[in-house]
Structure 1
Amino acid sequence: MSDVYQAMRDGFDLEIPADYNFAFDLVEKRAKETPEKVAYIAVSRDCETVEEHTYAHLNAKANRFANGLKKLGCKKGDFACVVIARLPAWYEVLVGSMKVGVVSMPGTNLLTAHDLEYRINRAGAKLAIVTAEHASKIEEIKEKCPTLEHLIIIGGEREGWVNFETLCAENSDELERAECEPTGADDLMLIYFTSGTTSLPKMVPRDYSYGLAHKITGQYWMGLKDGDIHWTLTDTGWAKAAWGMLFPPMLMGATILLYDGDPKFDADIHLKLIERFGVNCFCAPPTVYRVFAQMDLSPYKLESLNHCIGAGEPLNPEVMRTWKEATGCDVYDGYGQTETVNIVANYKGMEVRPGSMGKPVPGLTVDVVDEDGEIVEIDTVGHIAVKMTQQHPLGLFTGYFKDEAANAKCFKNGWYYTGDTATRDKDGYIWFVGRSDDIIGSAGYRISPFEVESALIEHPAIAESAVVGKPDPVRGEIVKAYVTLSAGYEGSKTLEKEIQDFVKNLTAPYKYPREIEFREALPKTISGKIRRVELRDEAKAEG
């Protein structure tokens, strides 16, 4: 297995042209060379309407929007706040904006008016491009956003707004690259906002080289090949959409499934869509696999699947076993951030070690280091970091937008510090521990909340868990767990003791939660990440 991995690293070669622009160099090129190749399949919420969008169609629609932007007077470097559901317009807006150099700032459909105000003013955005259900939020805050000049609405009419469909219809579907201001690979293409688990969201700039650097993601972790049908479950406002719905699948020649699903997850519909469209590569968060594992999967025909991936947290072995029995597929974990492409992963042909995020991807040097930038010993907790090289590491951002304090914190000692901690085993596999500021110090032990949470979710009563340190006069901190329960269970002292004993038997006894609080729900960011900072503050107040 190590030979397979080493061959991957040795065989890696990726050069990014100085003027690379994904919209021209991939989308338009493919539209000319293989115009009937299907870029994505759009499925309506009720699954009744299915539309195949070829590269020729996508390129023409993107050109119409790009020409519309030019007619409005928009230019390279203008910022656009973009909030669009899983609809064809999302592709048309992003690709069209890339052509003229307008910087898209995708936002999740869960953003509030207050969230939008913060993002627009933080960036000085000139445009707001949103679907009809978000227009009222923009109108609520537009007087507080002095840089806003153009409001573009998709799927509706509203006074003071430009209708997206009309704008595109009124403009040509032809656009020569020479008619657009030149873009370089190091020019700004996208801005993502971090999810803000511990602070206000930071702006993560992504340049045009980022699009091509995602070949690393598509080739290794996703294992995609030309002709595959790929489906990633994500909101369009997160960088995960750039990973799973745009750059890697298109770079590898895969067709993307675009399903405008209801926010309330329907497992039955998703399993039927895998079967209906013959999905080959499927990417979902661990929570989705857990839902599937609780179902009777025998009625579903999932034979088309040949590669399944997940990220965010390790899956418990029983879920992985259930999924493999139903599909024949392991779930390959991977790791990366809004600030990177995929940087650590399990790959086809490598042994999957459940709980490990895998090994560093080809093309990047990723290791576990201490505060001084020294590589730590085997099985020692340290910071996950990317080695800074003479050529800037592929797919790594160059720094937070106008935030020197944050940049000084993460770029130091010749490394980019991700803010996450891990250990590395003797074979080079990396094992996630937690956010750098989440580590619990108890009676001289350093305890990973993530490891305790992973043990907790093995218990059938627990649906979700979050672990923090609570101040303690004797131990410094104790482990406290906040949990929500699976259907059919009720919190009690008896159940608390049962869970504690379960964790003691599953991991080192000193790691067990000395306090367990049963909750109806856990506090989360709009991206669905648990706000442990909020729970830490609660525990601190109690202590």
Structure 2
Amino acid sequence: MFTKEEYSSYEDFCARYKPECPENFNFSYDVLDALDPKKTALIHVDDAGTRREYDFKFFQETSSRLANALMAKGVRKGDRIMLVLYRRMEYWTVMLALHRIGALPIPSPSLLTKKDISQRVNYAGISAIICEDSICERVDEAKPDCDGLNLLVQIDGTTNDGWLDYEELMATGDASCPRTADTPCNDDPMVIFFSSGTTGLPKMVMHTFAYPASHFTTGALWHDLEDGDIHLTLSETGWAKSVWGKFYGQWMAGATVFVWDFRGKFEPAHLLQIMADNKITTFCAPPTVYRFLVREDLSKYDLSALRHCTTAGELLNDSVFHAWKKAFNMPLYEGYGQTETTLQVATFKFMEPKPGSIGKPVPGWDIALMDEEGNEVPQGEEGEICIRIDKPVLGLFDSYMDEPEKTANVKCGDWYHTGDKAWADEDGFFWFMGRTDDLIKSSGYRIGPFEVESALVAHDAVIEAAVTGLPDEVRGQLVKATVVLAPGYEPSEELTKTLQAFVRDLTAPYKYPRVIDYVTELPKTISGKIKRKEIREADLANLPN
């Protein structure tokens, strides 16, 4: 059904590759049930270091049992189910079971508060929650405010009042769940992801059953997966990135998904040891993770099995790219997409990466960079990343669930407007600049925060940086950097001058931060994205009257 081919160049790729979705496609029936039951599907290492392997038979049977058990409890096609499962093995069983039913899973992060839970339950019309026992107390606190919530399933621990035990529930279901005439497929709603909510209440991004088919590009081609590979994507399961790297495309490509279910603070040395001990062959993580990894003594870890690495989510700075390539003789291949899309721009193994570029448009995605009037911008000029939608686009979200006005605001005429800015160089490579709201206008220049942030984090003193515009009567806006320092460094006027000079050497002189504010941590969404809007609002509030 999904066959990987080799390509000699980007031009060959565009000429021959066409992402497609089979008719009547349902991932649980058409991919999972067709895979070799004896083959290893997933390797799971928990926080205590216990390693377990699960074959496809395990997921074929457990997802069928759970689907039957949930239907016996009244779960039906179209119901909306919140999942809060960290990186637990049960996440895959639950997702696959709900795909069999046609109920819509809403994967959710473990950091949700009582307020978040009640807000999302009511906003999305959620009727059931399946979660780890550590989340139950917050759900119980939120439940009095959630009239439509009528089914609670608990994984692990002593079962709380009003909750069903996951294992006991699953044991009541039959191990066979055959396809029926009503089995959901293709254009039926399949999954809802909440957006990050950097500019207000998160939107409900709904994808259909055709969505997983588009991730064959992600797994087989961008991750370059082959049969027998062991792939690690670091994402928690509460976000869309988890199905980019821990699920659909990896299994379609024949790979084994590796899951490290760590809790608490991320420790780069621990991750490197996990990768070495488990012979990880392909790896994907955001640039921030690579920045921490290259600060370690990489020679201490046997990563000889590692052969291909990818990154996405923010700008990759040159110094990390080159440090990783020097250590392992392999580049980092960048990619770009949104919760609303799958992989739409990327660098693949048959392309020579340009450090800091997100790559070129993926076949199946007709992309233009457009100005505010809807005109395509010339090469070298910034424009909004827009996707042509006069024909169906495999991998593009269907809608913001229950919010047609918000959908219409971004799906306008023949185009979907991503809200992200980029420019293209003479070779057609895209260079990401940031969200349209994040661009800084200073002395007639338009400055994207990512490039300045990338320059700052290339300095040994800087762990993280957020760049925003600070109102200024003369220039319109000043470039301001909010910086988290590495251990051993202290804020000082001398350090500020050093960092400013460092940025001037790496970027155009007008881009350097004229103001640097030192903080212990940056404001972030629960998905880990920097809340630049919050920094801007705090700066406005502190301006003199």
The two structures have a TM-score, normalised by structure 1, of: 0.96
Structure 1 contact 302–326 (Cα < 8 Å) conserved: no
Matches within 5 A, 1:88-99: 88-99=89-100
Q: What are the residue-to-residue correspondences of 1:267-346 with 2, within 5 Å? A: 267-346=268-347
- In 2, the alpha carbon distance for the partners of 1:220 and 1:372 equals 35
1:456 alignment counterpart: 456
Counterpart position of 1:29 = 34
303-312 or 2-11, larger mean C-alpha shift: 2-11
Separation in 1, partners of 2:516, 2:440 = 16
Q: Counterpart of 1:236?
A: 237
Residue 367 (structure 1) aligns with: 368
Distance 1:453 1:227 in 2: 38
Matches within 5 A, 1:289-438: 289-390=290-391, 392-438=392-438
Distance in 2 between residues matched to 1:349 and 1:14, nearest whole Å: 18
Note the C-alpha offset of 1:370: 1.6
What is the CA deviation profile of residues 285-334 of structure 1, one whole-angstrom value per residue up to 9, with x for unaligned ones? 11111111111111111111110011122322222222222222211111
Check if 1:15 corresponds to 2:20: yes
Match of 2:446 in 1: 446
- Give 1:428's aligned amino acid: G
How far apart are 1:269 and its partner, in Å?
2.3
Q: Give the letter aligned to residue 16 of structure 1.
A: C
Q: Is the 8 A contact 1:220 1:361 kept in 2?
A: no
Deviation at 1:93, TM superposition (A): 0.5
Per the normalisation by structure 2, the TM-score is 0.96
Is the Cα–Cα contact under 8 Å of residues 100 and 181 in structure 1 kept in the other structure?
Answer: no
Please report how far the alpha carbon of residue 246 of structure 1 lies from its aligned counterpart in structure 2 after TM superposition.
Answer: 0.7
* RMSD of aligned alpha carbons: 1.4
Matches of 1:204 and 1:151, distance apart in 2: 23
2:42–2:54 CA contact under 8 A, matched in 1: yes
Q: What are the superposed Cα offsets for residues 24-52 of structure 1, whole Å, 9 maximum, x if unpaired?
A: 1101121xxx11011111112121x2221
Which amino acid letter does the alignment assign opposite residue 28 of structure 1? D
Larger displacement relative to structure 2 (494-503 or 61-70)? 494-503
**Partners in 2 of 1:358 and 1:92 — Cα distance?**
34
Aligned-residue offset at 1:367: 2.5
Query: 1:263, 1:384 → 2: CA distance?
Result: 36
Identity percentage of aligned residues: 42
Equivalent position of 2:10 in the other structure: 5
1:36-47 correspondence to structure 2 within 5 Å: 36-47=38-49
Asked whether the equivalents of residues 305 and 329 of structure 1 are also in contact (C-alpha less than 8 Å), the reply is no
Deviations 1:76-126 (A, max 9, x none): 000101100211110110000100111100001111111111111111111
SS of 2:24 mapped into structure 1 = coil
Deviation of the 1:170 alpha carbon: 1.9
Equivalent in the alignment of 2:4: none
The amino acid across from 1:69 in the alignment is L
Match of 1:81 in 2: 82
Instruction: Note if contact 1:85-1:260 (Cα within 8 Å) is conserved in structure 2.
Output: yes
CA contact (8 A) 2:17 2:363 kept: yes
- What SS does the aligned partner of 1:70 have? helix
Deviation at 1:3, TM superposition (A): 6.5
Task: Work out the CA distance in 2 between the residues paired with 1:525 and 1:160.
Answer: 31
Amino acid in the other structure paired with 1:29: A
Aligned equivalents of 1:322, 1:386: Cα separation in 2: 34
**How far, CA to CA, are the matches of 1:50 and 1:240 in structure 2?**
23
SS at match of 1:364: coil
SS state of the match for residue 52, structure 1? strand
Shift of 1:413: 4.5
Distance in 2, Cα, partners of 1:326 & 1:151: 48
1:402 deviation in Å?
2.1
AA aligned to 2:231 is H
Separation in 2 of the partners of 1:333 and 1:539?
33
Structure 1 residue aligned with 2:497: 497
The code of the aligned residue for 1:293 comes to V
Kindly state the Cα deviation for residue 229 of structure 1 after the two structures are TM-superposed. 0.7
Read off the aligned partner of 2:443 and give its amino acid letter. Answer: A
Deviations 1:236-289 (A, max 9, x none): 100001111111101111100011112311222221221222211101111111
Aligned partners of 1:99 and 1:86: how far apart in 2? 21
Q: Give 3-state SS (helix, strand or coil) of 1:380's partner.
A: coil
Q: How many Å separate the matches in 1 of 2:213 and 2:322?
A: 35
- SS of match in other structure, 1:177: coil
2:483 matched residue in structure 1: 483
What number of residue pairs does the alignment pair up? 536
* C-alpha deviation, 1:542, in angstroms: 3.3
Match of 2:172 among 167, 170, 173: 170
Query: SS of the counterpart of 1:323?
Result: helix
Deviation string 1:165-204 (CA, Å, 9 cap, x unpaired) is 00111221111112x7321211111100011111110000
Q: CA deviation at 1:423?
A: 0.3
Q: Distance in 1 between matches of 2:17 and 2:474?
A: 52
Structure 1 residue 461, shift from structure 2 partner: 1.2
Match of 1:258, as an amino acid? V
State the alpha-carbon separation in 2 of the partners of residues 103 and 88 from structure 1: 19
Structure 1: gaps of 5 or more residues: none
